[in-house]
Chains A and B, each alone.
Chain A
């Protein structure tokens, strides 16, 4: 209809009543109509992820459910500057987009954000730290945890390359593969439970395309396969040390 709609879901944990509309309608609007109609003016923003005391219903990372739906895009920024540029791209993208914002960073992140209009490209991953021994892939708030692990690994002589995927659907396989071809090792980390998490898709794809280059199994350091617990949150989370242990295990495989 020519107008744009930006819907906000207060917490990603509450997005599920909209799942039918997103999956069965928004994602298929263009395809089913033979491109007569489209739903590109739609952007849905929702805060996601751990916040320290959110429990089952204020901490979820539901990105994997949405990455399984051809027809929508899924985008997750790691910082304020990224959030502005990516969100503007999402709003202007001619496809429906689900934009998950890491709520942990709402009060924590401090960054210089340009006041002018700028857009950051979708479906382009960014190498935010160069390295040669292992490739780490992540998104959102988890990247800063991974960065800390990379810093400590460096003290042990391990050179880590860190990639911010930014767009999970459609994701930038080329950048990740190029990195894996360089390092021969990959570790994926996300807060969402490990089973069926988006790390599984990345792992399967890398194994398909880089099998002979791999020096070690693909590692995943993720949330546990439980509902997000309140008092046990520190145990549930993929911490810097869990990541560091996995980096070492992978490098020493």
Chain B
């Protein structure tokens, strides 16, 4: 017999009693549905609920997705040729980074994981700037200190990438809280993969954001694989979307390969985050078509035909192309022109980046602190003496 009218106060509020012992099931009868606007072939689903995109934005979105695809192919090859030391692609996830970026304003602050260069591309980071970071030359804003793909750009409100997983999430909560303190009409968007949600920082970041009522969008790219760990070995929940409620965070599951759906969801999330001053969780379902990175061979742990299927039949770039072409905003001719132009620009950017000098030796010692302490001044002096004595030990493309 349920005595629903009897409730009692505990810390945390009133709760009603029941004398029926029942456990909340570990899973719901049905999985949380996935929001999509485009069919797999790019046709708009009739009567769907979505945020319309202007022709200018749609064309820019599509062009950026193609650019990202080509950039990935060419830089990946450059690594294979030994010209850069490392690379990782966004293959299969082009819609996620481009469409989410398109729905934001330039004042919104990005805390990436590492598979979202599309966001930087949308905001105007040039192919040359990407190449310069990958080659670690003196034009790299990071001054050659980090591995390739660890981009950062203050002018684009894109915090510098670090390799550790999920560390950006608690930082995102804090940065969002800072925006809240300053009454800014902006939010933070932080990206994470499916694997990253198993980290302690995922819990800390989401819980803090919820309690502090911070305007941050946590965007989870659930691409099925955390290097070689499949999602079936990552969690026992219905993906990540259901975890939002555990923190009191409003959440949505979206088709990550549907650019319009991603755009709509992020637009709506941004409005809620800023106007209601609350965090939002978006889980985008997608597939990691490429290997984890150039240090991985994913055919060792997954079926080749699974990869090919997603690459061909579920390709987000082709899907969006079909939509953009069908409304008459894009043509075969533009396609050819764009691909040729981007390819040419990339090859040029790589040539320039390769020839550009590396940062000078002094940059090894700067920025550890705001000013170098005496131990570093001493070490620099001692190192310069060593380099003078043993020049052959040191690369010739770094000026002393």
Contact = CB atoms under 8 A, between A and B. Distances in A.
Interface stretch (B60-68, B141-149, B243-251): B141-149
Interface string A229-243: 111101110010110
Given A224-B383, A231-B144, A231-B145, A57 B364 contact: no
A56 B145 contact: yes
B170 to A, nearest CB: 12
Contacts of B376: 224-226
A229 B142 CA distance: 11
B115 interface: no
Given A55-B147, A226-B364, A235 B164 contact: no
A239 B391 CA distance: 12
B19 interface: no
Contact of A225 (B145, B164, B379, B389): B379
A225 B363 CA distance: 13
B375 A17 contact: no
Contact residue range for chain B? 20 to 34
Given A226-B364, A230-B146, A241 B163 contact: no
B394 A234 contact: yes
A232 B375 contact: no
B244 to A, nearest CB: 22
B268 interface: no
A231 B134 CA distance: 11
Contacts of B364: 224, 226, 229, 232, 235-236
B175 to A, nearest CB: 21
A217 to B, nearest CB: 15
A8 to B, nearest CB: 13
A234 B395 contact: yes
Nearest to B384: A235
B389 to A, nearest CB: 7
Interface residues of A, number: 26
Contacts of B359: 231
B387 interface: yes
B200 interface: yes
A129 interface: no
A230 B375 contact: no
Contacts of B159: none
Given A224-B364, A226-B365, A242-B386, A13 B145 contact: no
A235 B390 CA distance: 11
Interface string A1-17: 00000000000011001
Given A57-B162, A224-B379, A236-B364, A229 B145 contact: yes
Interface string A54-65: 111110000000
Given A13-B163, A53-B147, A235-B383, 17 more contacts: A13-B164, A53-B86, A55-B146, A58-B163, A224-B364, A224-B383, A227-B368, A229-B144, A230-B144, A231-B136, A231-B358, A231-B359, A231-B395, A232-B145, A235-B361, A239-B393, A241-B393
21 contacts: A13-B163, A17-B200, A55-B150, A56-B162, A224-B383, A225-B368, A225-B375, A226-B368, A226-B376, A229-B145, A230-B85, A230-B147, A231-B144, A231-B145, A231-B358, A231-B359, A232-B145, A232-B364, A234-B395, A235-B398, A241-B386
Interface of B: 85-86, 136, 144-147, 150, 162-165, 199-201, 358-359, 361, 363-365, 368, 375-376, 379, 383, 386-387, 389-390, 393-395, 398
Interface of A: 13-14, 17, 53-58, 194-195, 224-227, 229-232, 234-236, 239, 241-242, 245
